[in-house]
Structure 1
Amino acid sequence: MTNLVRIAPGALTIGRPLPWNVYDADGNVLLRQGYVIQTNSQLEQLFERGRFKPRKIERPQEEIFEDNRERNPFADYPDLLHTLEATLNAITGADPSAHKRLLGLARMIERTCTESPDASLALIHLYSIGPVIHEQILFHAILCQFIGRQFGLEEKRISVLTTAALTANLALVPIADKLNASNKVLSNEQRGVIRKHAERSIQALRSAGINNKLMLTIIAQHHEQADGSGYPRGLSGTDIRPEAEILALAERYIAMITKRAYRDRMDVANARKLIANLADGKFRPAIPKALLQVLGEFPPGILVRLENNEVGVVTGRPVRARGPFVKAIFGPRGNRYAGTFERDTSLPEFNVRALEEPEIMPSIDFGLVWGLNS
């Protein structure tokens, strides 16, 4: 198999699902997408032997910045991250193509969320244990798509909100991963960078010729709070754009379910409780309510233990009277099933008993579980 690329050190992490199939130099599959690396020695072997196949976009003479293939969130994940990184670099470099790149990426994310909503939400929860900054930004944009639509924003405003979510933390990109990996108290200098990141992101966008007024307003206001306790201007109430509150809530939810060096990640049940409490003063009540409706009690991508003691992964949100769609991956005695088995969680023996929050995700063949072609 040609066009295979060696895996760079740092691209893979113990305890997180593989973002793509891994091949040997002859093109034979070593590990499937979704497999979770368990040990350091296994990781070293993959860096030594492993290759992956980038899903490159064929470009005609006039370069385009949008991929119109049928969307598969899991197979597209590495490409979305690569495109996001290239887009942010184009903005900071004041590249003339920056605006087209940003709009094209936003449309790709919109199509992904529209065509595969449950799989898009699953992507967030499957990769949320220790995401790097580009992953977090992608998750913010995905959540903004869903919250904005549930809140009732018109499509044009959702599109602008998505571009704001992709660029609001532009100024934090160089330092975010280092901050998240540190268990030390922030220095005054670091706090200053964080408080000014929205302003600096806006400056970079303007320098790149990106001047959408609504987009820049969303970024400027996304750390304001309805009770006036936010920054930089201490705005309150309806002086804050609802799009800015949606972005702020998306960022807060991702932070809740993400592990940091200085704290553990929060399980979805506790995150939902905190979101419900945010309706009391910090946000206009309809926005936390919209996020709770998007997630449901058991969001796609989380693991649950059933009444019969099986462990399964939630693949879809409830429809009408039935519970969440779950596919069992472990048997009652902890044995890993060779395949997956659909369980009707409205039946007593398959009711959801509890959430499972592993520090290391089990290996999951995403294509098999969600029935998507890679």
Structure 2
Amino acid sequence: MPEHWLIPETPDLTELVRIAPGALTIGRPLPWNVYDSDGNVLLRQGYVIQTNSQLEQLFERGRFKPRKIERPQEEVFEDNRERNPFADYPDLIHTLEATLKAVTEADPSAQKRLLGLARMMERTCTEAPEASLALVHLYSVGPVIHEQILFYAILCQFIARQFGLEEKRIAVLTAAALTANLALVPIADKLNASNTILNDEQREVIRKHPERSIQALRAAGVNNKLLLTIIAQHHEQANGSGYPKGLSGTEIRPEAEILALAERYVAMITKRAYRKRMNITDARKLIGNLADGNFRPAIPRALLQVLGDYPPGILVRLQNNEVGVVTRRPVRARGPFVKAIFGPRGNRYSGTFERDTSLLEFNIRALEEPEIMPSMDFSLVWGFRS
């Protein structure tokens, strides 16, 4: 394993637990730091496991630090630290898991947890927008259901603002994005990993998941009418072909269409057992086509404007033959901005170098779609303090 990923750090050893088989996969960035039994960092978040041998070593030697989910205290929901989406990613996932568990169990803390997590997502997206969008693309190779739900909430934040939705409605939409698929959580990962045709029971679960998610929210004391309406309608389609009621046109709330589009986009760029993931160019073309009958035209347009031609987190080859990751969308007449990772001859740079792709030498020549993503220290690449 490369030496530049071996960084000294010593957490409380009692907090470290073994990595469960199946928690890590080849070709996917690590979601958290991996430690040895003495508390030394073996690998930083963002390292990509390349071989079965590396994977076996990590299961044998590796430890990680899980977040301890306590009963809700006010400070849990009013976290005023600087937002670093990469460092916060494991905590966001665990907080989402705890929130959905609280809803499922009708815990009195459920509504407070949900509102707190929605506020946390809002702060993350508004204070670190480029890194938040990058999360969606860096971890889109094979996300589990809780990661997909976080991506829906992130995309809803951006699409809704571009569409012009007022802030109060964006907050409710974010809470809806975090809970709309609650009823699918127990089976979603299994469905995504299967390449067989859905059976009748699975189809029924999928078709009824909005209604069952709403039932769980109501039982947990979450009764916001707009939130429940968004969830109820997020599989309706403007042309009347959706479910459960076959609504059409303006019968469907724009918030529901925004959530539906966020889910559709994540599905496009995510690998499934039964198909490859789409590259950003093909995904953009398909989004453009969705304006014809499936959605209000302004909603797909809003997503296309958010993404741009090259959204943060994707890999590109530059005119000078360097390969890098897009870190920022265009600003005025400049950009998008890329951090070069590989030199023109394919050599891995020891650091990263920012390139303004509006300059002729650094124009983007093509998308890069490697079988396995290169390792990156995400916080370092996006300029966050460790």
In the superposition, the TM-score normalised over structure 1's length comes to: 0.97
Which digits, 9 at most, give the CA deviation of each residue in 1:72-93, with x for residues without a partner? Answer: 1001101100010111111111
Note closer, same or farther for the CA distance 1:347–1:186 as it changes in structure 2 (3 Å cut): same
Identity %: 86
Q: Who is 1:70 aligned against? A: 82
The answer to whether the Cα contact below 8 Å between 1:222 and 1:248 also exists between their aligned partners in 2 is yes
Q: Who is 1:253 aligned against? A: 265
Q: Who is 1:33 aligned against? A: 45
Comparing 58-67 with 305-314, greater Cα deviation is found at: 58-67
Equivalent runs, 1:1-374 vs 2, <5 Å? 1=10, 2=12, 3-54=15-66, 64-374=76-386
Amino acid at match of 1:260: R
Displacement of 1:367 after TM fit?
1.8
Amino acid at match of 1:120: S
Q: Partners of 1:198 and 1:36 in 2: how far apart?
A: 35
**Structure 1 SS opposite 2:191:** helix
The answer to whether the Cα contact below 8 Å between 2:328 and 2:335 also exists between their aligned partners in 1 is no
Comparing 260-269 with 21-30, greater Cα deviation is found at: 21-30
The answer to whether the Cα contact below 8 Å between 1:129 and 1:359 also exists between their aligned partners in 2 is no
Amino acid at match of 2:284: R
Displacement of 1:57 after TM fit?
7.8
Which sections of structure 1, spanning at least 5 residues, go unmatched? none
**Structure 2 SS opposite 1:238:** helix
The answer to whether the Cα contact below 8 Å between 2:84 and 2:379 also exists between their aligned partners in 1 is no
Tell me the matched-pair count: 374
The answer to whether the Cα contact below 8 Å between 1:257 and 1:271 also exists between their aligned partners in 2 is yes
Displacement of 1:371 after TM fit?
0.6
Amino acid at match of 2:182: L
**Structure 2 SS opposite 1:146:** helix
Q: Who is 2:6 aligned against? A: none
Amino acid at match of 2:217: L
Which sections of structure 2, spanning at least 5 residues, go unmatched? 1-9
Taking only aligned residues, the RMSD between alpha carbons, in angstroms, comes to 1.6
Amino acid at match of 1:333: R
Q: Who is 2:4 aligned against? A: none
Amino acid at match of 1:286: A
The answer to whether the Cα contact below 8 Å between 1:57 and 1:67 also exists between their aligned partners in 2 is no
Q: Partners of 1:359 and 1:141 in 2: how far apart?
A: 27
Amino acid at match of 1:158: I
Comparing 275-284 with 247-256, greater Cα deviation is found at: 275-284
Comparing 52-61 with 350-359, greater Cα deviation is found at: 52-61
**Structure 1 SS opposite 2:341:** strand
Amino acid at match of 1:370: W
Displacement of 1:50 after TM fit?
1.4
The answer to whether the Cα contact below 8 Å between 1:303 and 1:357 also exists between their aligned partners in 2 is yes
Displacement of 1:59 after TM fit?
8.0
Which digits, 9 at most, give the CA deviation of each residue in 1:260-311, with x for residues without a partner? Answer: 0001000000000010111111111110010001101100000001111110
The answer to whether the Cα contact below 8 Å between 1:66 and 1:101 also exists between their aligned partners in 2 is no
Comparing 314-323 with 21-30, greater Cα deviation is found at: 21-30
Amino acid at match of 2:183: A
Comparing 123-132 with 224-233, greater Cα deviation is found at: 224-233
Amino acid at match of 1:353: R
**Structure 2 SS opposite 1:228:** coil
Comparing 170-179 with 23-32, greater Cα deviation is found at: 23-32
Note closer, same or farther for the CA distance 1:62–1:289 as it changes in structure 2 (3 Å cut): closer
**Structure 2 SS opposite 1:196:** helix
Displacement of 1:71 after TM fit?
1.0
**Structure 1 SS opposite 2:26:** coil
